[in-house]
Structure 1
């Protein structure tokens, strides 16, 4: 038979085990809190008058000789909170920071979550909202809330005050210089291009008047025609045509994207034929010389379009 006393003892035993377990957990919780840092913060008033002094205090306990790091003095609170006094007191076991501040603008302002580093651990405060009201009446005499302070400005302070004016002035000067350079050199470039074209056309007209074509003097004709063309290419396209051999010049022109394919083809045909005439390998007729003269003349006239297209491409 089962002893009835065992059943009476069993519930008491279960209760005893549960109490023992609860006591163990409670001891662990108390020990953990006894050796951990505890941060507390307090704001004296959440509604203050305009310019009224308020107090904000942060305390940290159970430091155990650990160092506390936070924002520098007078820099813990946000912009609208004017710090009047910021004191820090600490020892091996605790840390306390007291800030006296005032706000000189109406409205609602927030003291955000502030971080304090204890050893490798970050502790944070709770946020606070401060409402600032203007209690002055129309008939009240207005006095300065704070005495004027004399502040000695350094070079960097003057720079912060006037840097935008200085940068604006430099920008205007740079713009003026750019306009002057554009007017001077831009016009000069266009004028030099037109001058080279006009001068070359005059030289071609002089060549035409020598009647080399009519007389069949093809060698003198091609020598002077190519010489005039080389000088023109050198001035107009800035290619050293006056010192390059024909093959090298043609290769350089193919690499120069300024010269159009049409003009490049004209120069290549005339220059190659001129070399053949020079070494007596070909004897061109009057029609061929007329065509080569006309092609070179048209090439000189079209060159300005090459330069206009190149300038447009650069601008884009």
Structure 2
């Protein structure tokens, strides 16, 4: 009776081992030279379609171990992982127990200790294969060596010159009095085409006429006409003395009349609007003479 129980227990353990997963690992060398390639092979048998999970590729081994290749082969029976690695520090290092999850069951490898040695001895003499030779360089050789540096320097100098020219002349050309004059004349022509005068829409006419004039004075004479009230602007023009008296009179008359129209205190007829438009147009065309006179006065 006891014999039957013993046989039954043995049979149970044999069956369990026959169908349980078997993990094995093999390290190729326990002593390697600096930078020498070593191999670690891990194998799991009897998977019976159970999934295997572990650390991602190239992340299984700890610090100091430089993984070169990490190949994983797996089917429904066997799992095999071959790792090729090197160590670039001298000393003794340990590969700890590595865990593998097989269908929820944790299997671990045995730890390994690896000794890394420096095979180069201090007494070793290093000889060159052949003696160094001095080569005489010619002008074209120096050009091939340094041409990109020279070209880069020339490009930088050209860029600096272009920036200086743009700052000195580019901005000046954009603020040229002729350009400001032509632009304002185009805006006045556009206002004329709206036929506010013919339609008797004096309020819209004076609002746009004065707005165009203020922008022109700000740009051409560098006066804050776009933000000042009419009375303040007139005082500033007389004090600044940049605009000629003839042009000052035109601006003063038109701007004051425009304020009266804006507040419904004046109702100019078509001929008055025509005259104000013509006067402002002539003022814009004559403005360059004011600036020429101002420049002469500054030079004197």
TM-score in same-fold range (> 0.5):
no
Q: TM-score range by the shorter chain?
A: 0.3 to 0.5
Normalising by structure 2, what TM-score? 0.43
